[in-house]
Structure 1
Amino acid sequence: MTQADPLQSFEGQRFLALETFRKNGVAVRTPVGFVRDGDVLLIRTEADSGKVKRIRNSDRVRIAPSTGRGDPLGDWVEARAQILDDPAASEAARQKIAAKYGLIWRLIEGQVAIRNRLSRRKRPGWVSIRLTPIALRQE
């Protein structure tokens, strides 16, 4: 029995399509930037985003390498999503993503920070999410 690398198709890609599921089972697809960290992928998003709400409801997700618009470029991979509540783990993920995306990521963070300062309501900031593929065994 061998196990193929379910994340191989993500090598060299800048975006992935993240498919989360509403309570009624309807899939919602979102393109996000990511970084590979060993056997998992890491993403960052705003803590009050719809994808975070859906992941809190169900950790089941599907991921595929994609364009920046979310058009899949490869096969879908079933995965589990875990919101990283530990501040140190979340910061480590932020640093890895910032290293991959450089100035672009820092501009995104800056834009969100400015928008949050100008907003009349308090926004909760960012969270990091670990995506772990459910490896399929090949016999």
Structure 2
Amino acid sequence: MDLQELDRAKYISLTTFRKDGTGVATPVWFAAEGGELYVWTRSDSWKVKRLRRDGRVVVAACDVRGRVEEGAETVEGTARLLGDADLKKVRKLLSRKYTWQFWVVDVPAAVVRRGKRPHTGIAVTLRTR
């Protein structure tokens, strides 16, 4: 799967793996840059906990509900959790791709959190074929 082709999708299904090897797929917003996909999520999410233990992921284009079209290509990769400095880059990439939608979600949530942003950035490197 070509990274530019994938970047045209609005959502990706990001599958992370439990200790027993069971995959857990979650639809997420993402942006591509420099050969990697970037995602952000709440720091206390299960996907962050799973990625701390196992960086394997599987990615596929999906819809907002996480439905992957039958026959759609999936790509394996490796994810790493990013530090606070890199989170600013991820937020900038996502706000550029999702424009007003990003701000409609992010600003009200920041008000509720009193400006605190308990999020973690994730960088995904896809395996080339």
The bucket for the TM-score relative to the shorter chain is: 0.7 to 0.9
Task: Decide which of 72, 96, 100 is 2:97's aligned counterpart.
Answer: 100
The TM-score normalised by the length of structure 1 is 0.82
1:130 aligns with 2:123: yes
List 4+ stretches of structure 1 deviating above 4 A. none
- Matched-pair contact (CA < 8 Å) for 1:17–1:64: yes
**For 1:74-110, what per-residue CA distance to the aligned partner results, in whole angstroms no more than 9, with x for missing partners?**
211001001111x222211110101111111112113
Larger radius of gyration: 1
| Equivalent residue number for residue 22 of structure 1 | 18
Deviation at 1:114, TM superposition (A): 4.2
Q: Which moved more, 1:60-69 or 1:123-132?
A: 123-132
| Equivalent residue number for residue 50 of structure 2 | 54
Aligned partner letter, 1:75: E
Aligned partner letter, 2:106: E
Aligned-residue Cα RMSD (Å) equals: 1.8
- Matched-pair contact (CA < 8 Å) for 1:59–1:81: yes
Identity of aligned residues (%): 32
Give the Cα separation in 2 of the matches to 1:130 and 1:51. Answer: 13
**For 1:108-139, what per-residue CA distance to the aligned partner results, in whole angstroms no more than 9, with x for missing partners?**
1134334445xxxxx87011100100112xxx
Task: Decide which of 29, 32, 47 is 2:28's aligned counterpart.
Answer: 32
Number of matched pairs: 126
